[in-house]
């Protein structure tokens, strides 16, 4: 039976960084992922990673921009840590082999990104996530004696001992269907976000909120779940992302009247205001009849403003995306985009070392909410979040491991999960709805009612639908009854995770009766610091979800009106 000091669930940037940090502290480490590590969703990250490495910059300026971007909901102690440790982390990446773009003087080049008061985004063309992920994976190979890799293993549950501490997980080998209990002194969730709750989304099919739901089910509170980021530039056809790097390089947004409408909404930062502001501006233009395209649901993104040579060099991936997925040569004509679901600011509530309220359970990366993003994440701050808090969680967990014996988890959870999978496989075909149908209705519902603009009636309707879908999911049937690479059965389990995440998101959005960051309530259009400068925590108590509040940590920046 596998037993480790530190068991990491997820091999994206947060997971791999945590594994390397824990290994360097001398812990025995395992990293487990439902897909091959370099297929983790971090591979899609495009535009770059923020760090105040320019000599004219200062981490405090980065921190202030992040606090302001968060609409003052971010916890400032965590933001200070992230921004002050950023330069060292980016230099570390460079030293281990990430080929960041350099300027003609040979210095690390930095590009502009939304909400930033100066250029501070280091990048590798528009494949920054891929570049970092592959280098970290090489580093993991170096540590093969201390880091065991379980690739294509799917975690079904977290395991608790009698005191309620987390002492490992139950997982299924995707290749064979074999189930096993993994014992661990510490478990770090690095399972990514929950973008697939929405349709369309920029997120890959694997981003289904597994870790968020698993932690929630054993009692860990979820924080800021109502804060869901809609990215301003996603393809109208299918929701694929056109990186903010395009606007950073000089691309502009135009409505049907050819007007550069951001002048009205953010006269100083224009297209490089924070994402919540730009997405809302676009949605307003569309709702007021100035959208483009056959049904007026799009906006033009004009990248022809960027010199063609520069686009082909620094934005080459979106050149391909434009051609392959929209039939548009972005170097010669505008491309039609609109706001689309991209990121969740909320997740499993943690402290600044990634520790959750459950002893022995950590979380880092998009699965977690240490609350560095608050109500709205600044572009290029997520990669940073994954690396800084992945490392801190790995180090903390490794040190904790030195102080406790290896737990001996019983196999009750294993038996329960085997029975749960047998029950899904045995469901009568046609006895309920298909998993895919329920998922499609969930995605459409969230995109209609829990999107850029929200109101009480729409949110309540969404909640009713989510509750009905939860019932229907209990009898949702699958086609594949086999054991080898049975993605069908995993899809049914993931549906349950997504429904839990959706319910927490909707409840948080109903609860927060104000507009802040990504949550814009048309029935409460103002930010209300007096009543709502606080986090909403959603916990599973007894039978159902319950909301409670926790304070926002303010160190040096008092809330003020946000203007771009």
Ligand X SMILES: Cc1cc2nc3c(=O)[nH]c(=O)nc-3n(C[C@H](O)[C@H](O)[C@H](O)COP(=O)(O)OP(=O)(O)OC[C@H]3O[C@@H](n4cnc5c(N)ncnc54)[C@H](O)[C@@H]3O)c2cc1C
Which residue lies nearer to ligand X by CB, 310 or 460? 310
- 90 by Cβ neighbours in 10 Å (0-12 / 13-18 / 19+) ranks as buried
Binding of ligand X by 291 (CB under 6 A): no
Only segment of 32-40, 89-97, 136-144, 518-526 that touches ligand X (CB under 6 A): 32-40
Binding of ligand X by 9 (CB under 6 A): yes
Residue 275 falls in the annotated catalytic set: yes
Residues 101-130 binding ligand X (CB under 6 A) are: 128-129
Chain centre to alpha carbon of residue 229: 9
- 344 by Cβ neighbours in 10 Å (0-12 / 13-18 / 19+) ranks as buried
Which residue lies nearer to ligand X by CB, 233 or 515? 233
Among 28, 202, 283, 505, binds ligand X (CB under 6 A): 202
Query: For the chain, what is the total number of helices (H) and then of strands (E)?
Result: 16, 21
Only segment of 186-194, 221-229, 270-278, 447-455 that touches ligand X (CB under 6 A): 186-194
What proportions of the chain, in percent to the nearest 5, are helix, strand and coil? Answer: 40, 20, 40
Find the shortest distance in angstroms from Cβ 148 to ligand X.
14
Sign, CA torsion 297/463/372/350: negative
C-alpha distances in Å from residue 335, one per residue of 284, 306, 319: 19, 13, 11
Residue of 303, 380, 288, 379 lying closest to 336 (CA atoms): 303
For residues 504 and 502, give the distance between their C-alpha atoms in angstroms, rounded to a whole number: 5
Binding of ligand X by 395 (CB under 6 A): no
Among 76, 233, 279, 386, binds ligand X (CB under 6 A): 386
Which residues touch 251 (CB under 8 Å, ≥6 apart)?
271, 301, 302, 303, 305, 306
Name beta bridge partners: 300: 254, 336
To which residue do tokens 């990669």 refer?
383
235's enclosing H/E stretch is strand 228-235
Find the shortest distance in angstroms from Cβ 172 to ligand X.
9
Among 5, 366, 500, 537, binds ligand X (CB under 6 A): 366
Assigned token pair, 161: 């001992």
For residues 516 and 288, give the distance between their C-alpha atoms in angstroms, rounded to a whole number: 22
Which residue lies nearer to ligand X by CB, 334 or 491? 491
What b/e sequence results for 169-185 when a residue is b if at least 16 CB atoms lie within 10 Å of its CB, and e otherwise? bbbbbbeeeebbbbbbb
Which residue lies nearer to ligand X by CB, 239 or 458? 239
Only segment of 42-50, 53-61, 159-167, 269-277 that touches ligand X (CB under 6 A): 42-50
Binding of ligand X by 157 (CB under 6 A): no
For residues 398 and 39, give the distance between their C-alpha atoms in angstroms, rounded to a whole number: 26
Among 23, 32, 369, 446, binds ligand X (CB under 6 A): 32
Set 17, 111, 275, 521: catalytic member: 275
Task: Report the residue number whose CB is nearest to ligand X.
Answer: 12
Binding of ligand X by 387 (CB under 6 A): no
Only segment of 92-100, 246-254, 299-307, 377-385 that touches ligand X (CB under 6 A): 377-385
Only segment of 203-211, 275-283, 501-509, 523-531 that touches ligand X (CB under 6 A): 203-211
Among 140, 155, 424, 495, binds ligand X (CB under 6 A): 155
Find the shortest distance in angstroms from Cβ 25 to ligand X.
20
Residues marked active site are found at 275
By CB under 6 A, name the binding residues for ligand X. Answer: 9-15, 32-35, 40-42, 44-49, 128-129, 154-155, 190-192, 202-203, 206-207, 210-211, 241, 342-343, 365-367, 380-383, 386
């Amino acid at each position: 039976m596998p037993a480790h000091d530190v068991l990491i669930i997820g091999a994206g940037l947060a997971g791999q960084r945590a594994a390397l940090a824990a290994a360097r502290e001398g812990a025995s480490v395992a990293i487990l992922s439902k897909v091959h590590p370099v297929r983790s969703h971090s591979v899609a990250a495009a535009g770059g990673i923020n760090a105040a490495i320019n000599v004219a910059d200062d981490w405090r300026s980065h921190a202030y921009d992040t606090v302001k971007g968060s609409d003052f909901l971010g916890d400032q102690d965590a933001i200070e840590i992230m921004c002050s440790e950023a330069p060292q982390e980016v230099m570390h990446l460079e030293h281990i082999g990430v080929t960041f773009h350099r300027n003609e003087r040979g210095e690390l080049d930095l590009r502009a990104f939304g909400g930033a008061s100066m250029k501070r985004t280091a990048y590798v063309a528009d494949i920054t996530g891929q570049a970092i992920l592959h280098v970290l994976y090489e580093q993991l190979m170096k540590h093969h004696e201390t880091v065991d890799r379980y690739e294509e293993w799917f975690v079904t549950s977290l395991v608790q001992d009698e005191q309620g501490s987390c002492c490992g997980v139950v997982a299924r080998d995707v290749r064979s269907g074999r189930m096993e209990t993994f014992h661990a002194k510490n478990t770090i969730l690095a399972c990514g976000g929950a973008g697939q709750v929405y349709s369309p989304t920029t997120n890959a099919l694997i981003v289904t909120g597994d870790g968020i739901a698993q932690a929630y089910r054993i009692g860990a509170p979820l924080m800021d779940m109502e804060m869901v980021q809609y990215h301003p530039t996603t393809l109208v056809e299918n929701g694929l992302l056109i990186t903010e790097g395009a606007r950073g390089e000089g691309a502009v947004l135009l409505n049907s009247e050819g007007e550069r409408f951001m002048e009205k909404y953010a006269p100083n930062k224009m297209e490089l205001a924070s994402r919540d502001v730009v997405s809302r501006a676009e949605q307003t233009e569309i709702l007021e009849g100035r959208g483009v395209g056959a049904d007026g649901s799009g906006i033009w993104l004009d990248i022809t403003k960027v010199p063609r040579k520069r686009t082909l060099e620094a934005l080459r991936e979106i050149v391909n995306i434009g051609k392959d997925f929209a039939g548009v040569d972005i170097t010669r004509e505008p491309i039609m985009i609109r706001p689309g679901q991209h990121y969740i600011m909320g997740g499993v509530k943690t402290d600044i070392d990634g520790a959750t309220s459950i002893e022995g359970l950590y979380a880092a990366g998009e699965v977690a909410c240490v609350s560095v993003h608050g109500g709205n994440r600044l572009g290029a701050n997520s990669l940073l979040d994954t690396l800084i808090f992945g490392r801190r969680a790995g180090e903390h967990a490794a040190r904790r491991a030195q102080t406790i014996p290896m737990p001996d988890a019983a196999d009750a959870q294993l038996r329960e999960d085997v029975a749960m999978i047998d029950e899904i496989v045995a469901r009568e075909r046609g006895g309920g709805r298909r998993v895919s149908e329920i998922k499609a209705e969930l995605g459409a519902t969230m995109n209609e009612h829990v999107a850029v603009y929200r109101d009480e009636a729409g949110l309540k309707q969404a909640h009713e639908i989510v509750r009905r879908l939860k019932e229907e999911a209990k009898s949702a049937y699958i086609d594949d009854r086999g054991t080898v690479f049975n993605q069908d059965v995993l899809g049914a389990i993931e549906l349950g995770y997504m429904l839990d995440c959706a319910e927490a998101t909707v409840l948080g959005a109903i609860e927060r009766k104000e507009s802040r960051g990504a949550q814009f309530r048309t029935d409460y259009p103002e930010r209300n610091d007096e009543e709502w400068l606080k986090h909403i925590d959603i916990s599973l108590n007894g039978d159902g979800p319950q909301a409670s509040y926790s304070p926002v940590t303010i160190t040096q920046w008092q809330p003020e009106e946000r203007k771009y």
